[in-house]
Amino acid sequence: MNATTDRAIGSKKPFPFPGLITWVASLAGMGLSLEAVFKICGSCSVTADYRLFGMEFGWVGIGFFALLLPLLALRGRSACCAWLALLLLFAAAGAEARFIWIQKYEIGQWCPICLSLAATIFLACAGVTWERLRTLSAKGAPMKSKLIHFVLVSLFFVMGLGTATVGVNRQADAAEPDLFLGKRSSPTTVYFVSDWFCPACRKAEPAIESIYPELARSVRIGFVDFPIHRETTNFTPFNLQFLTFEKAKYISLRRALSDLSLRTRTPSEAEVSAAIAHLGVRLRPINYADTLYGMQANLTVYRGFNVHSTPTVVVTNAKTKKSRLLVGDNRINPVTVRAAIAEVERN
């Protein structure tokens, strides 16, 4: 980089439109990162299991934009800040390319917040590149300067892609508990929403048990406690334990919990241990924070899909954005569940 190049990139001459694109995209990216941290979006339950070197994506985004925004503000005064902003954005674009690949090929569903964040990064890259090339043209910079620009941004894009490839992993143990069963990479999710003291829910259980093995091979499955009867919350911590730690035996454990609910509304650990002893399972309590997470996840489902009664089956597909509700024990059977799955998967 020669002196002409440095003066050009640090020029104070305004270029309102490309600069506006960069600022709007960057500020939107900060807002989306905050939204990801506070988990306002209910569509990100699977992507939330992933970390970049152990850090949540939302916090990584906040740190990135907190560094980027001052550099953008100073880029008109400092060639160094202008270059740093440019290269940081293209490194982030490379990382976002990896995140998109993970959603498409590993998770199998799209996260609106993550895709929106990627869009802000790509737009900001377009804005700073446009601004940069117009500056170089206005200064009459040689083709060599433009070539340097493309080589450097390409290099940092590849570096960002490589960093994300190495650093992004699913951190099930470090993240929130994985409460899903079945084929967890499927874009189709079937939620069974019930209450432990609901007579109609008990009537629906045989149908749920009969179709569960078939569903487990092809779709993601969630069992959601909706506390129509407040005593249901006494059973929820045990249900969350089994969903987290005992996936292979969950249906049998669920039946044991259901039988116990006929005998008590306030089960103790000793009573639950006795009820499941014949299954060769010991209680493995999850911590209080994970219990709260599970209860919040349940609430997100039944409020998010406007479930008002139990039992209800929610069938939803992340790709088609279609959802179907089956309400009442007389509507929940293998035939209706299969039909609902086919309907939401149809483009």
Q: Would you say residue 52 has pLDDT above 70?
A: yes
> pLDDT above 70 covers what percent of the chain?
88
Q: How far is CA 130 from CA 45, 78, 136, in A?
A: 36, 18, 10
Q: Would you say residue 8 has pLDDT above 50?
A: no
**How large is the average pLDDT for residues 192-196?**
97
DSSP label at 315?
A: E
Q: How far is CA 152 from CA 27, 87, 179, in A?
A: 25, 7, 44
Q: Would you say residue 249 has pLDDT above 90?
A: yes
**Structure tokens, 59:** 């916090």
CA pair distance 128, 43, nearest whole angstrom? 31
Q: Would you say residue 141 has pLDDT above 50?
A: yes
Q: How many other CB atoms are found less than 10 A from the CB of residue 120?
A: 23
Average pLDDT, the chain: 86
Q: Would you say residue 13 has pLDDT above 70?
A: no
CA atoms within 13 A on the CB side of 60: 18
With CA atoms as reference, report the closest residue to 108 among 42, 192, 183.
Answer: 183
Quick one: pLDDT at residue 174?
44
With CA atoms as reference, report the closest residue to 122 among 28, 208, 210.
Answer: 28
CA dihedral 81, 132, 76, 26 (to 10 degrees): -70
Per residue in 265-297, pLDDT (tens digit) is 999 999 999 999 999 998 988 888 889 999 999
> pLDDT above 90 covers what percent of the chain?
54
Residue that the structure tokens 């993240």 belong to:
175
- Choose the most confident range, by mean pLDDT, from 6-15, 76-85, 226-235, 285-294: 226-235
In what helix (H) or strand (E) does residue 220 lie, and over which residues does it extend? strand 220-225
Quick one: pLDDT at residue 241?
94
pTM: 0.54
**Structure tokens, 153:** 């941004």
Per residue in 26-44, pLDDT (tens digit) is 888 888 888 777 655 544 5
With CA atoms as reference, report the closest residue to 195 among 220, 222, 221, 230.
Answer: 230
Quick one: pLDDT at residue 70?
92
**Three-state SS string across 149-202, please?**
HHHHHHHHHHHHHHHHHHHEEECCCCCCCCCCEECCCCCEEEEEEECCCCHHHH
CA atoms within 13 A on the CB side of 190: 29
With CA atoms as reference, report the closest residue to 68 among 103, 106, 27.
Answer: 27
